[in-house]
Amino acid sequence: MISANLLAVFYLISGVLFILALRGLSSPETSRQGNLFGIIGMAIAIGVTIISVGNFSTGFLYLMVLMLIGGSIGAFISFKIPMTAMPELVAGFHSLVGLAAVFVAISAFLNPEVFNLGSPSNIKIASLIEMSLGAAIGAITFTGSIIAFLKLRGIMSGSPITFFGQHYINLFLGLSLAGLIFYLCKTQADTWFWTIIFISFLLGVLLIIPIGGADMPVVISMLNSYSGWAAAGIGFTLENTALIITGALVGSSGAILSYIMCKGMNRSFFNVILGGWGATDQSSSNKSKEQKPVKSGNADDAAFLMKNASSVIIVPGYGMAVAQAQHALREMVDALKKNGVKVTYAIHPVAGRMPGHMNVLLAEANVPYDEVFELEEINNDFANCDVAYVIGANDVTNPVAKSDPQSPIYGMPILDVEKSKSVLFVKRSLSPGYAGIDNDLFYRDNTLMLFADAKKMTEEIIKSLD
């Protein structure tokens, strides 16, 4: 056994180590050490908890076996998962945290003595509120993340699912949760508790289905935040400092990422979560498409242009991830560098399906991180660059965001690809991007369209460069 005070001190140490884990991520050099701090913090929390419970009978054996099973599954997934699938992996992991929070809350509700919360049907009111909140947010995180996972995986269509009165139904469900928690506190009846969990599961689904595929960076960040708040709710119930600190850290981390993503699209948070955006408005975008002339080229043209350039900026987007073109891209850049061309990468905040998605893919392909730049750092360089190689990105380069106040993406910060001397656009067709808006850049004189799969085209360019 271990005294309650000492236990609390250990949980505090875990909490501090978790803070250091996040602090480490301020630069790639310190990040690995940070991760180690996180692991130590977790080991301490688990170790002291097991010692404090002091039950080394059959239960302990089960615990070890189950941790081994879960741990092996987790380790297996983490080694097997391709980097392009990180968004769905993170969504999947969020769903597990959510469900674990629900299970712990259920357990606390059924057996409150263990956590000093009172006795069944006579649980402290404050604890009831805390555990219902933890369970509700956990349940929303669970089903919401499952939907996000299915959409990212392509099992479910990425287009928004909307129906009449959707927001009112969600509002009604949200308000009814408050009512149910009130009745739960009043009557202590377990019916209310189960209903809260059921409605929260339903609400999680309804909240995420109207949100379109390309808004997933916001959704994932938001669910990240929710999983934190759920953990904090459980932390209050269990009076556990490590959980409270961690919940607050994760909650604010997810909230900040959501904010950064929304700002990257110049949209308000509510505009994103209310959804329905990206239901392609084809009537307006298809009208003038056919008449405008487009210059298209092949790999030889592209190779010639880039070989003779003195500087090239690569603009990767989700299409690069889909085509798994990051390794070919790195080879192409190596070949260009051999020819004395200066190459850098420009990354838009919302490129890809989760925050930092493109950076991870480039890192996987061994692109040194000091050649990769964020929007604000590199945007002025486009004016002095000879060739911009846009691979799998579209809307984030669309100049209409600056010029046309009618456009849905008006005001969104874009990469100033248009300012470079020539633009190479790798794209499978002229179809508009996710936002359903035609990209002016396609029809400019200095733009050369390369109609092909991103990976194939890049590989062909490498051949032509030799």
Partner 1 sequence: MEIDPFIFRLSIFILSIFIGYYVVWSVTPSLHTPLMSVTNAISSVIIVGAIIAALAGGADNILDTANIFGFLAIILAAVNIFGGFLVTQRMLAMYKKKKKDKK
Catalytic residues: 395
- Extract the tokens encoding 294: 């487009």
Burial of 113 (0-12, 13-18, 19+ CB in 10 A): exposed
With respect to partner 1, which residue has the nearer C-beta, 206 or 219? 219
Touching partner 1, residues 402-431 (CB under 8 A): none
Touching partner 1, residues 23-62 (CB under 8 A): 23, 25-28, 31-32, 34-35, 38-39, 41-42, 45-46, 49-50, 53, 55, 57-60, 62
Mind giving me the DSSP string for 287-328? TTTTTS---B--HHHHHHHHHT-SEEEEEE-HHHHHHT-HHH
Please give the Cα distance from 251 to 230 (Å, whole number). 9
Touching partner 1, residues 357-396 (CB under 8 A): 357, 359-360, 363-364, 366, 368-372, 374
Q: Which amino acid is at 172?
A: F
Question: In the 8-state DSSP scheme, what is residue 240?
Answer: -
> Which residue has 């248009």 as its token pair?
418
Q: Which amino acid is at 444?
A: R
Touching partner 1, residues 175-214 (CB under 8 A): none
Candidate ranges 98-106, 297-305, 383-391, 403-411; the one touching partner 1 (CB under 8 A): 98-106
Candidate ranges 77-85, 156-164, 429-437, 453-461; the one touching partner 1 (CB under 8 A): 77-85
Candidate ranges 88-96, 182-190, 290-298, 323-331; the one touching partner 1 (CB under 8 A): 88-96
With respect to partner 1, which residue has the nearer C-beta, 179 or 368? 368
User: Which contiguous run of DSSP H or E holds residue 191?
Assistant: helix 190-208
Look at strands 342-347 and 118-119 and give their pairing.
unpaired
Report if residue 258 touches partner 1, rule: CB under 8 A: no
Q: Which one among 67, 175, 178, 383 touches partner 1, defined by CB under 8 A?
A: 67
**Would you say 423 and 429 are in contact if contact means Cβ atoms under 8 Å apart?**
no
Please provide residue 123's backbone torsions phi and psi, each rounded to the nearest 5 degrees: -85, 145
The CB-of-436 to partner 1 minimum distance in angstroms stands at: 27
Q: Which of 377, 288, 280, 389 has the alpha carbon at shortest distance from 329?
A: 389
Touching partner 1, residues 333-362 (CB under 8 A): 337, 347, 349, 354-357, 359-360
The CB-of-398 to partner 1 minimum distance in angstroms stands at: 21
Length of the chain, please? 466
Touching partner 1, residues 107-136 (CB under 8 A): 107-108, 110-111, 113-115, 126
The CB-of-170 to partner 1 minimum distance in angstroms stands at: 25
With respect to partner 1, which residue has the nearer C-beta, 14 or 143? 14
Candidate ranges 255-263, 281-289, 324-332, 380-388; the one touching partner 1 (CB under 8 A): 255-263
- Extract the tokens encoding 310: 């003195």
User: Which contiguous run of DSSP H or E holds residue 39?
Assistant: helix 28-53
Q: Which one among 204, 247, 392, 433 touches partner 1, defined by CB under 8 A?
A: 247
The CB-of-307 to partner 1 minimum distance in angstroms stands at: 18
Residues 171-195: b if buried by 16+ CB within 10 A, e if exposed: eeeeeebeebbeebbeebeeebbeb
The CB-of-308 to partner 1 minimum distance in angstroms stands at: 21
Report if residue 262 touches partner 1, rule: CB under 8 A: no
Please give the Cα distance from 199 to 31 (Å, whole number). 40
With respect to partner 1, which residue has the nearer C-beta, 227 or 447? 227
With respect to partner 1, which residue has the nearer C-beta, 103 or 172? 103
The C-alpha angle 158, 164, 166, rounded to 5 degrees, equals 65
Q: Which one among 2, 4, 66, 189 touches partner 1, defined by CB under 8 A?
A: 66
With respect to partner 1, which residue has the nearer C-beta, 219 or 457? 219
The CB-of-23 to partner 1 minimum distance in angstroms stands at: 5
